[in-house]
Chain A
Amino acid sequence: MNILNGFSFLFANPTTFLFIAIGAFTGIVFGAIPGLTAAAAIAMLVPLTFYLNPLAALALLYVIGKSGRYGGSIAAILFNTPGTASSAATMQDGYPMTQQGKAGKALKIATVASVFGDTFGELVLIFGASTIAVYTAWFGPPEYFAIYMMAFVVIGSVVGKSIIKGLLSTLFGAIISVVGLDPITGGSRMTLGLYQLDSGFSLVPLLIGIFVISEVMIQYVKIKSGEKLNIIKMKNDDPDANRLTFREFKQCIPTMLRSSAIGSMIGMMPGLGSAVACFVAYGEGKRRSKTPEKWGTGIIEGVAAPEAANNAVSGPSMVPLLTLGVPGSTIAAVLIGVFMIHGIQVGPLIFETNRELIFGLFAAGLTGIAMYGLIGYFAGPLIGRIIMVIPPRLLYPFIFLTAIIAAYSARKSLFDVGIALVFGLVGYFMRRNKYSPAAFIIAFVLTKGAEEAFRQSLLLSDSGIGIFLERPVAIAFLALGLAVLIGRSLSVLRKNRNGLKTSSGSS
């Protein structure tokens, strides 16, 4: 019944449909261009959402996140280059299908699987989030602090290959976040004497620097190094090769269901994300297949599995955001910023204070899935052809210019443009040295809340820091974070030991 109220709220704001359509198209295009991501699109469009009403602003960015995950499959299938990290597994079977002249079929199954997975995940969000929020509503500052600590440790330790680099990425984001005036005493902290930093770093220039400017730098370096996109002309002469039959769709249903479940579970864990989901689903699909030797040679299940999983992450990644105020992904972290800009406090009470808005957002999500599904199914090949035609040496100057004006427009400040450029350098070195920009951004967003919860807990406490050990829920979350850290450390140690054994065995 609540989702029906959500749809009626959506229809009461009909201009939102326009922004959902813009989000669907923009996400597909950004996802399809190798190197660009939905996060880059969101970073550049966040300042424009300041002029929109809350539902339109959130719907636009939320749908970009969904369609961007799907858009990455276009580059993976056509160019053998993942448009986003979450479509890297799609390349395994998608590109071989293109080489066999079946690019159209591959794109269609990618679209169908993405819509399937995304809808599955969205239903998990709709029915799961409000149920969980009932239990999390009574959490106090000690519980919230424990949740933030768990999130920092989990995100830092599971993202990427190196635990230390993941944790350092988290700490970099945290230290940047504390710059500014102290919220209680009003004294300045680490501002280097610059009055422009009294209000701290703004999220928008950081996002633009880390995701967009760094990508422009990377592409510049690649162009100068002579790297080119691997393009095969899409053959149109065989109509069956570019059609998806109902029989083929039915054949993929078990794979899509399993992959959607995998993606949904992974999506609820902060920090894991689509990139992990797509490979886990691909591996599981291959393992359960009657013909595993065919995976990797160009079969439709090999495209359906990762695409269903990576899009199934989208909805459930909002569950920790809405129930605990902890973002499960970079996109969710940006949405926290947008909620705050519109004066909306994120957490379990959002279902009491802004019920219509939240279910309106869920309705917008379902509408966005339908829109990007239609655009992708009928226009996916056309978008791919257009991207082939536009050379990167023309595209990236425009992206650079857009990034500059977007960084400026957030606070009408050229200082913010300077910040974006500095963090462009930071982002470049982070990505080159395998640190995690996603962990950095999530930590940046969460640290203020974590510090506030910590200080409030100590104010409430008679036993000082012991308050965190007096609350069972707080202990449980802290223990969970520790368990993930230990588990991941053991897994890395085991992998390193096996690697050493293999290399000594082969020598």
Chain B
Amino acid sequence: MVRDKAEYISIIFFGLFCLLLAFKIETFESTVVSPRLVPVGIAGMIVVLGVLQFIVAWLAGLRTKNVKGGDSSLPLEDAEGSAAFPTPSVLRIIVIPVVGFAYIWLFFTTGYLISTTIIMAFVLFLFGTRNPGKVAIIAVGAAASYYFIFIYLIGIYAPPGWLLNLGLPGF
């Protein structure tokens, strides 16, 4: 119930934030349709539906939904994937994006090969591989393979790190 209220209020605030940004869009008298019109319309509808959702839930006397397993007799959304959601801590939810941002920083600092090796080792550890030898071999092998396929063969440009530059071909 608390989680649902937080969800609906977040949506309303998101809509209001978008509405604020939309009203800041510069308008020009010469245009028939203002560039502000569509963004304001969409943001306004988000706020309205967010409030409506809050009211509907309040009127229906919402109970906390803990979705485990799901009802297989009801249609699921296309491409949704998983139906069951255990309730995790905030740390478990944000750890993957945080590691991703760390990857971006390491990429700038040390280049693609080293950053990929380090992050791969860390993510393997996160997901439960504890054998240090196995982690090291997989991390180095994966980074080298990805470097070879994406940077060398396909030719995707990867800038050298500002701190460390291995001077490898393919840049």
Using CB atoms and an 8 Å cutoff, list the residues of chain A in contact with chain B.
Answer: 34-40, 48, 51, 82, 84-86, 88-89, 91-92, 159-161, 164-165, 167-168, 171-172, 174-175, 178, 182, 184-185, 187-190, 192, 211, 213, 215-225, 227, 273-276, 279, 329-330, 392-394, 396-398, 400-402, 404-405, 408-409, 412, 414, 417-418, 420-422, 424-425, 428, 431-434, 436-438, 451, 454-455, 458-459, 496
Contact = CB atoms under 8 A, between A and B. Distances in A.
A136 B39 CA distance: 29
A393 B4 CA distance: 31
B72 A91 contact: yes
Contact of B88 (A221, A418, A425): A221
Interface of B: 7, 11, 18, 21-22, 25-26, 28, 31-33, 35-36, 38-39, 42-43, 45-46, 49-50, 52-53, 56, 60, 67, 72-86, 88, 92-97, 100-101, 103-104, 107-108, 116, 119-120, 123-124, 126-129, 138, 142, 146, 150, 154, 156-157
Given A160-B77, A398-B142, A422-B97, A220 B46 contact: no
A182 B80 contact: no
A92 B72 contact: yes
A467 to B, nearest CB: 12
B85 A432 contact: yes
A36 B107 contact: no
Contacts of B94: 425
B42 A171 contact: yes
A392 B7 CA distance: 30
B161 to A, nearest CB: 12
Contacts, number: 219
B25 A220 contact: no
Nearest to A441: B79
17 contacts: A187-B25, A217-B96, A220-B127, A221-B86, A393-B124, A397-B142, A414-B108, A418-B101, A421-B97, A424-B100, A431-B80, A437-B80, A438-B80, A451-B38, A455-B33, A459-B32, A459-B33
B146 A394 contact: no
B87 to A, nearest CB: 9
A167 B42 CA distance: 11
Nearest to B34: A185
B86 A222 contact: yes
Given A175-B43, A458-B33, A85 B78 contact: yes
Given A275-B76, A421-B101, A438-B77, A182 B92 contact: no
Nearest to A433: B7
B75 A275 contact: yes
A431 B70 CA distance: 13
From B25, B36, B129, name the one whose CB has the most chain A CB atoms within 10 angstroms: B25
A152 to B, nearest CB: 10
Contacts of B43: 175
A393 B134 CA distance: 13
A36 B81 contact: yes
B157 A187 contact: no
Contacts of A496: 60
Nearest to A181: B35
A218 B82 contact: yes
Given A171-B49, A394-B124, A454 B33 contact: yes
